[in-house]
């Protein structure tokens, strides 16, 4: 399959590109390198440094490389930044996304997989979360992702076959790539940064209605996520015009304190940390139901332990330090 991966120089995109190439697919990466990294682009992939908003250039790339399907990972994804600059998020994630939909329509491509987010659910009243539950995002990031998902679904009028993957907390690394966000807002890389002498980890809230008082989240290994993207691309080649929506997680929840405890075991030393107040909009627990993904994608996570996720990220950091 000839696949265009937008955002293929970022964390999730780059690792999915790696796995696509290992599976025998031809890949073109579309990435402006504003937040992605050129060195993340896997050997064997072609890089085009255009924005998804540049419809004419995207059409050229699609036609030149005879692309059969698109994996859309490109997005602005910092919740705090989205609260400060919502216009940026709706411009990049919605306006840019619709430009991409129009480009693939003009180029005659009718298959797309979208990297969405559990942020579309906002603050659910119970867990595990199913795809049929209300979508009530509480920040512009989640709202922009949901807006594009809606638009993508309506493009079935033009024959589009789409899958939206609403994933939960992604962690871990491949042999070559891990998380490199600036600023870094994700828990596992911040824990490991503290373990390497960086600022102490701040745990936001120790008064949640959970067993140890810290918030519970569902973590999925980035390699399992890549596998799900590839399964979704396969599904778009088999389904009728329309849209499928699937949650992706481990189906289990771990508290911040539990993640910290496992990381302490992985690194073999105490990790400096401190407690701060809860962050607005952080629910006590977010856990996915994977039932639909298992049904329609024949997918289930294979690397579900925190030890595997944190261990792979720590191993890559140690390898980088040696290098």
Q: Where are the domains of the chain?
A: 2-170+221-249
* Bridge partners, 201 (sequence order): 273
Name the residues annotated as catalytic: 141
Is residue 31 classed as helix, strand or coil in its secondary structure?
A: coil
What burial class does residue 293 get, using C-beta atoms within 10 Å of its C-beta: 0-12 exposed, 13-18 middle, 19+ buried? buried
DSSP string, 173-231: --SS-----SS---HHHHHHHHHTTSSPEEEE-S-SSSSSSS-EE-EEEHHHHHHHHHH
What pLDDT is recorded for position 321? 60
Task: Give me the pLDDT at residue 322, please.
Answer: 44
pLDDT value at residue 176: 87
> What 3-state class would DSSP assign to 265?
helix
Note the CATH architecture for domain 2-170+221-249.
3-Layer(aba) Sandwich (3.40)
Query: In Å, how far from its chain's centre is CA 42?
Result: 18
Mean pLDDT, 10 residues at a time, over the chain (323 residues)? 97 96 97 93 96 98 98 92 94 98 98 97 92 94 97 98 97 89 85 95 95 96 97 98 97 96 97 92 89 97 91 89 50
3-state secondary structure string across 3-50: EEEECCCCHHHHHHHHHHHHCCCEEEEECCCCCCCHHHCCCCCEEECC
């Amino acid at each position: 399959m000839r696949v265009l991966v937008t955002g293929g120089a970022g964390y999730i995109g780059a690792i999915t590109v790696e796995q696509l190439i290992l599976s025998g697919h031809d890949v073109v990466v579309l990435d402006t390198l504003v937040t992605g990294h050129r060195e993340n682009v896997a050997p064997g992939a072609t890089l085009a440094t255009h924005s998804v908003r540049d419809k004419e250039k995207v059409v050229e790339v699609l036609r030149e490389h005879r692309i059969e399907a698109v994996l859309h990972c490109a997005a602005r994804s910092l919740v705090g930044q989205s609260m400060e600059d919502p216009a940026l998020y709706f411009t990049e994630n919605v306006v840019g996304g619709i430009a991409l939909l129009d480009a693939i329509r003009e180029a005659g491509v009718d298959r797309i997989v979208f990297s969405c987010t559990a942020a579309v659910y906002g603050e659910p009243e119970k867990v595990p979360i199913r795809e049929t539950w209300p979508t009530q995002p509480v920040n512009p990031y989640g709202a922009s992702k949901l807006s594009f998902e809606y638009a993508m679904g309506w493009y079935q009028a033009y024959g589009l076959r789409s899958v939206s993957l609403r994933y939960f907390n992604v962690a871990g690394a491949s042999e070559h790539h891990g998380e490199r966000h600036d600023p870094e807002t994700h828990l596992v890389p911040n824990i490991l940064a503290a373990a390497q002498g960086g600022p102490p980890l701040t745990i936001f809230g120790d008064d949640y209605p959970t067993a140890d008082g810290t918030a519970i989240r569902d973590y999925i290994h980035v390699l399992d996520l890549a596998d799900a993207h590839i399964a979704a691309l396969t599904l778009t080649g088999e389904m009728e015009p329309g849209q499928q929506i699937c949650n992706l997680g481990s189906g289990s929840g771990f508290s911040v304190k539990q993640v910290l405890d496992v990381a302490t075991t992985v690194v073999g030393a105490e990790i400096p940390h401190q407690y701060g107040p809860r962050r607005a909009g952080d629910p006590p627990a977010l856990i996915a139901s994977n039932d639909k993904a298992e049904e329609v994608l024949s997918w289930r996570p294979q690397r579900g332990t925190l030890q595997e996720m944190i261990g792979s990220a720590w191993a890559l950091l140690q390898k980088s330090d040696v290098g």
